[in-house]
Amino acid sequence: MNRDEIVEVLEEIGVLLQIKGENAFKIRAYENGARTLERMTESLETLVEEGRLQDLDGVGKALAEKVETLFRTGELDFYEKLKAEVPDGLRKMAEISGLGGKSIHRLHKELGVESIESLREACESGKVAALKGFGDKSASKILNGIDNLERFSRRELLSTAEEVAFPVLEGLRGLKAVERAEIAGSLRRRKETVGDLDFIVASDKPEVVMDWFVDREDVEEVIAHGKTKSSVRLGGGLQADLRVVSGIEFPAALHHFTGSKDHNVQMRKRALEQGLSLSEWGLQKKGGDGDYQSVDDEAGLFAKLGLEWIPPELREGGREIDMAETDTLPQLLQLDDIRGALHNHTRASDGRGTLKEMAEEATRLGWEYLGIADHSRSSFQANGLSEERLYEQIDEIRRFNEESEDKVHLFAGTECDILKDGSLDFSDELLAALDYVVVSIHQGGFGQDRDTVTKRIVAAMEHPSVTLLAHPTGRVLLQRDPYPVDLAKVIDAAAANGKWLEINAHPIRLDLDWREWDRAREKGVLACINPDAHRPEGLSYVRFGVDVARKAGLGAEAVANTRNLAEMKKLLDLS
């Protein structure tokens, strides 16, 4: 069993233990172990072989044994027994919002509830309301939760969440009672998908802000409406939380609700080690009674704990606090660093814009160059180019560059399919005639096993004309998992052959994921951030790719398309 699968098992064990009513700290131990495993950069195989699993933070004797067993055999008695003890229906109930492990445990034990259907019946017949500690409202809340589970059990793309959140933020900022308003949460951390929206507001009239928030037109349901905190469900299904604090409390609140949860836990631990206690209200002496230390902004808060300000994108509970302590936080890439992009389509294949329209948009963005990489012939679903048509496009691009020297420079490329056997979709001669070659998998990746897909990609990476691998895992966010592929081997092949890996910036891909870049960076593999634009406006997607690079801790030097035109020509062996 590979790392990701083991992570899933550990997480699943956590959920099952919760339903069994196990000790909360034991549950957390499994969750922590899963996260540690998820984040480590060394190969799991090495750690197991060398017996060093327990070197990992939060992995002790018991977890190490379980992980090793899963790795070697793919099975675990402890897990199988647990699954057998907890009916599937109960497992599913854990996904109902507002219903936790303890309640599920009691509903099962005292009412014999074993599925969402029987839970619905128990609520409707009044059995739940009659239970001690429950009541009418609890029952209807559960019913509502069941409905919502069916309707809104999904996250949204970062880009979608932005579209919903920005108008709310503007509205908040437009209120007289509001001093400051910011978006926090995973949207501020620029996660690839967002589960809910968090707004933090500084105001001395919290009720006014609360009332405005819950009365907005696109609010479908008010989940909570308190003095300083409210939660609503918006029309599109996204939940939005609002927290109102005073101006003095704002920095700590913004930090707290930006998270992540793991980051906050680590920050609070650090505070405790220094005799301090950190909460959303601020920093005070341990056991203090509200005498919070005043800070001007988040940087002030970090400084009180001996830390550099940590950019929100890095606050995922990895090594960011260690780095902030030792002044070794990376200088992160900025959108302004981007000088062009190489993976873009025109109407020659499945895009909407002409060469000229794409070039004009690139010019408008201030770019120095734009690469055209239409699909190759095997991607017939995308109107892939024949060799003849691609030769014509190369000529067209050469003419464009000759006729308009003061504008953006166009590079002639292709997004060439990696065929099932690892060969490429165009002749070596044609590939050599191009300025650069993007390769990617479009067909069959999901029908092949991990070893076959990996070999297929590695073979392509060894082709002399290839420049970079596009969307290395083929995932489509919220729709399709990655195809099975051994990324460590792909990264090693890229390093060995001087190829680049794409950060596909299309909001539905964001592939290669930010979690996967440690190994690539260590091996000196360059990233290339590409919008995969299918129309002129699509070029601006690069900003989502910049988000991914920042979360990965990459600076401008690690990204190929931060090079200026002359440097890029050199990188592509064109000068």
Partner DNA sequence: GCCGTTTTCGGCCCGACTGTTTTCAGTCG
Q: How far is the CB of 287 from DNA (least distance, A)?
A: 9
Task: Decide: is 280 part of the binding site for DNA (CB under 7 A).
Answer: yes
Q: Which stretch binds DNA (CB under 7 A): 38-46, 278-286, 346-354, 535-543?
A: 278-286
CA angle 482, 488, 493 (to 5 degrees): 105
* Range 137-156, binding DNA (CB under 7 A): 137-139, 141
* Range 360-379, binding DNA (CB under 7 A): none
Q: SS3 of 180, please? A: strand
- The Cα 69–Cα 128 span in angstroms is 41
Q: How far is the CB of 197 from DNA (least distance, A)?
A: 10
Q: Which stretch binds DNA (CB under 7 A): 4-12, 52-60, 166-174, 449-457?
A: 52-60
Residue 287: both structure tokens together: 């056991």
Residue in 11, 12, 89, 97 binding DNA, rule: CB under 7 A: 97
Binding mask 4-33 for DNA (x = CB under 7 A): -------------------x-xx-xxx-xx
Query: Of 519, 535, 530, which is closest to residue 559 (Cα–Cα)?
Result: 530
Q: Which stretch binds DNA (CB under 7 A): 262-270, 344-352, 435-443, 463-471?
A: 262-270
Instruction: Give the chain's radius of gyration (CA, Å).
Output: 26
Task: Decide: is 304 part of the binding site for DNA (CB under 7 A).
Answer: no
Place of tokens 């259907």: 117
* Range 32-51, binding DNA (CB under 7 A): 32-33
Distance between start and end Cα atoms, the chain = 47
Comparison of 128 and 503: residue with beta carbon closer to DNA: 128
Note whether 187 and 198 are within 8 A (CB): yes
Task: Decide: is 64 part of the binding site for DNA (CB under 7 A).
Answer: yes
Show the 3-state SS of 460-497: HHCCCCCCEECCCCCCECCCECCCCCCHHHHHHHHHHH
Comparison of 185 and 251: residue with beta carbon closer to DNA: 185
| Angle of helix 487-497 versus helix 450-461 axis, rounded to 10 | 10
* Range 186-245, binding DNA (CB under 7 A): 195-196, 198, 224-229, 239, 241
| Summary count for the chain: helices (H), strands (E) | 25, 17
Query: Of 271, 259, 272, 267, which is closest to residue 314 (Cα–Cα)?
Result: 259
Q: How far is the CB of 26 from DNA (least distance, A)?
A: 4
Comparison of 193 and 228: residue with beta carbon closer to DNA: 228
Comparison of 278 and 439: residue with beta carbon closer to DNA: 278
Q: How far is the CB of 131 from DNA (least distance, A)?
A: 8
Task: Decide: is 308 part of the binding site for DNA (CB under 7 A).
Answer: no
Q: How far is the CB of 132 from DNA (least distance, A)?
A: 5
Task: Decide: is 283 part of the binding site for DNA (CB under 7 A).
Answer: no
Task: Decide: is 281 part of the binding site for DNA (CB under 7 A).
Answer: yes
Pairing state of beta strands 219-225 and 229-234?
Answer: antiparallel
Task: Decide: is 291 part of the binding site for DNA (CB under 7 A).
Answer: no
Q: Which stretch binds DNA (CB under 7 A): 101-109, 154-162, 446-454, 466-474?
A: 101-109
Comparison of 102 and 364: residue with beta carbon closer to DNA: 102
Query: Of 214, 238, 236, 212, which is closest to residue 224 (Cα–Cα)?
Result: 214
Q: How far is the CB of 568 from DNA (least distance, A)?
A: 42
Q: SS3 of 440, please? A: strand
Other C-beta atoms lying within 10 Å of the C-beta of residue 469: 26
Task: Decide: is 54 part of the binding site for DNA (CB under 7 A).
Answer: yes
For residue 536, give every residue at least 6 positions away whose Cβ sits within 8 Å of its Cβ, in sequence order, or none: 352, 353, 357, 358, 360, 361
Binding mask 467-486 for DNA (x = CB under 7 A): --------------------
Q: How far is the CB of 54 from DNA (least distance, A)?
A: 7
Task: Decide: is 265 part of the binding site for DNA (CB under 7 A).
Answer: yes
For residue 439, give every residue at least 6 positions away whose Cβ sits within 8 Å of its Cβ, in sequence order, or none: 415, 416, 417, 418, 424, 460, 461, 463, 466, 468, 469, 470
Task: Decide: is 167 part of the binding site for DNA (CB under 7 A).
Answer: no
CA angle 303, 309, 310 (to 5 degrees): 135
Cα-Cα-Cα-Cα torsion 250, 255, 257, 258, nearest 10 degrees, comes to 130
Q: How far is the CB of 246 from DNA (least distance, A)?
A: 12
Q: How far is the CB of 80 from DNA (least distance, A)?
A: 15
Q: Which stretch binds DNA (CB under 7 A): 2-10, 61-69, 79-87, 492-500?
A: 61-69
Query: Of 560, 382, 351, which is closest to residue 359 (Cα–Cα)?
Result: 351
Note whether 366 and 336 are within 8 A (CB): no
Residue in 46, 61, 217, 405 binding DNA, rule: CB under 7 A: 61
**Binding-site size, DNA (CB under 7 A):** 61
Query: Of 120, 123, 217, 213, which is closest to residue 175 (Cα–Cα)?
Result: 213
Distances (CA, A) of 245 to 9, 46, 232, 254, 400: 40, 49, 18, 10, 57
Q: SS3 of 517, please? A: helix
DSSP state letter for 375:
B
Q: Which stretch binds DNA (CB under 7 A): 41-49, 253-261, 305-313, 369-377?
A: 253-261
Comparison of 134 and 400: residue with beta carbon closer to DNA: 134
Task: Decide: is 72 part of the binding site for DNA (CB under 7 A).
Answer: no
Task: Decide: is 279 part of the binding site for DNA (CB under 7 A).
Answer: yes
21: left (phi over 0), alpha (psi -120 to 50) or beta: left
Task: Decide: is 132 part of the binding site for DNA (CB under 7 A).
Answer: yes
Residue in 269, 364, 398, 523 binding DNA, rule: CB under 7 A: 269
Comparison of 231 and 562: residue with beta carbon closer to DNA: 231
Q: How far is the CB of 29 from DNA (least distance, A)?
A: 3
Query: Where do contacts with DNA occur on this chain (CB under 7 A)?
Result: 23, 25-26, 28-30, 32-33, 54, 57-64, 96-104, 129, 132-139, 141, 185, 195-196, 198, 224-229, 239, 241, 257, 259, 261, 264-265, 268-269, 272, 277-281
